[in-house]
Amino acid sequence: MRVIVVKDPKEMGKRAAQLIVEDMKAHATYVLGLATGSTPLPLYNELIRLHKEEGLDFSTVITFNLDEYVGLAPDHPESYHYFMWENLFKHININPKLTHVPEGNIPYQTPEDIKKIQEVCDQYEQMIDDVGGIDYQVLGIGSNGHIGFNEPGSSLGSLTRIKTLSENTRKDNARFFDGNMDLVPQYAITMGIGTILKARKVVLLANGEGKAQAIKDALEGQVTAMCPASALQMHRYATFVIDEAAASKLTLETYEHG
Ligand code: F6R
């Protein structure tokens, strides 16, 4: 595993963009796996800058997002459809038809609904396989070690499916919903840990002290479903780009700096 410790979130975004763009330029077609939340924003800002100032071309890039809340319309300001459009897609020359975010705006009450949602999840997984898989998957990490919305206890071989959000995650994400945890949806559709592990390359970003324990568990702890990000220890090409605060509990001295 490669671990790069940088001084702040801006550097984290730049470093991650460098890794992705280098790889992107080496391929004629490219499939990017994307995350939402506050952590990838410096990366998206850097990709937007590279597009505007250096002509980085996204016209043939295909994207798949990790997850989406169940029950939010795509134009809801906290839906991940909306997030991606506002924070990345509308600023670059991406073809909207090549972007994919799981369809979460479907009812989830009756057994038929549950069946329908699982079909949507299976189709999402199939679409990723049909384009030849994800070249580079971007990840954040929850303070409880989740990746995507694979909460502690998730199967390390899981594929795209519906998950119940933990109380910890709903508390963490209440900041996006006027501080009101009751407004945070209870369920989300998420790529599984198995889906994430299928990506050719993975970059996990983290900043701030609030992520330090999760980063320590993911990198220096045992591989366990109790820390879903620890599954990345099984990946052949996983890089963590984290700031000094998120790295503050790490003990090995071999990590890269800068
Ligand atoms: C979002 C996602 C989540 C977040 C994680 C951290 O698509 O997959 O795993 O990456 O909850 O969120 P932030 O970055 O807001 O701290």
* pLDDT score for 27: 92
Instruction: Check: CB of residue 241 under 8 Å from CB of residue 1.
Output: no
Taking the C-alpha atoms of 21, 11, 38 and 108 in order, what is their torsion angle to the nearest 10 degrees? 30
Nearest CA to ligand 1 atom 2: 148
Report the CATH fold assignment for 2-201+208-248. Answer: Rossmann fold (3.40.50)
pLDDT grade for 235, boundaries at 50, 70 and 90: very high
DSSP 160: S
Each domain of the chain, given as residue ranges in start order, spans: 2-201+208-248
Mean pLDDT along residues 193-199: 98
pLDDT at 253 exceeding the cut of 90: no
| Strand ranges of the sheet holding 256-257, from the earlier edge strand across to the other edge | 99-100, 61-65, 30-34, 136-139, 201-206, 238-243, 2-6, 256-257
Residue 222 Ramachandran class (φ > 0 left, ψ -120 to 50 alpha, else beta): beta
- Site to substitute for ligand 1 among 32, 38, 39, most atoms within 8 A of C-beta: 39
pLDDT grade for 198, boundaries at 50, 70 and 90: very high
| 213 residue type, one letter | Q
Residue 92 CB neighbours (<10 A): 17
pLDDT tens column, 4-57 = 999 999 999 999 999 999 999 999 899 999 999 999 999 999 999 999 999 999
Lowest mean pLDDT among 35-49, 103-117, 135-149, 210-224: 103-117
* pLDDT score for 258: 82
Instruction: Check: CB of residue 228 under 8 Å from CB of residue 145.
Output: yes
145 CA to middle of ligand 1, Å?
Answer: 10
Two tokens, residue 154: 């998730």
* pLDDT score for 224: 98
pLDDT grade for 59, boundaries at 50, 70 and 90: very high
Residue 73 CB neighbours (<10 A): 10
Two tokens, residue 32: 């990017």
Mean pLDDT along residues 94-121: 94
Mean pLDDT of the chain: 97
* pLDDT score for 100: 98
Mean pLDDT along residues 204-221: 98
Nearest CA to ligand 1 atom 10: 140
- What is the sign of the dihedral through the CA atoms of 16, 17, 20 and 25? negative
**182 is an active site residue:** no
Spatial CB neighbours of 78, under 8 Å, sequence gap ≥ 6: 69, 72, 176, 177
Two tokens, residue 46: 């850097």
**151 is an active site residue:** yes
For 92-104, give the DSSP string. TT--GGGEE----
Q: Which atom of ligand 1 is nearest to the CA of 148?
A: 8
Calpha distance 116→96 (Å, rounded): 25
Nearest CA to ligand 1 atom 1: 36
List beta partners, residue 161. 190
Q: Which atom of ligand 1 is nearest to the CA of 36?
A: 7
Mean pLDDT along residues 212-223: 98
Residues with CB under 6 A from ligand 1: 35-39, 66-67, 140-142, 146-148
Mean pLDDT along residues 67-72: 96
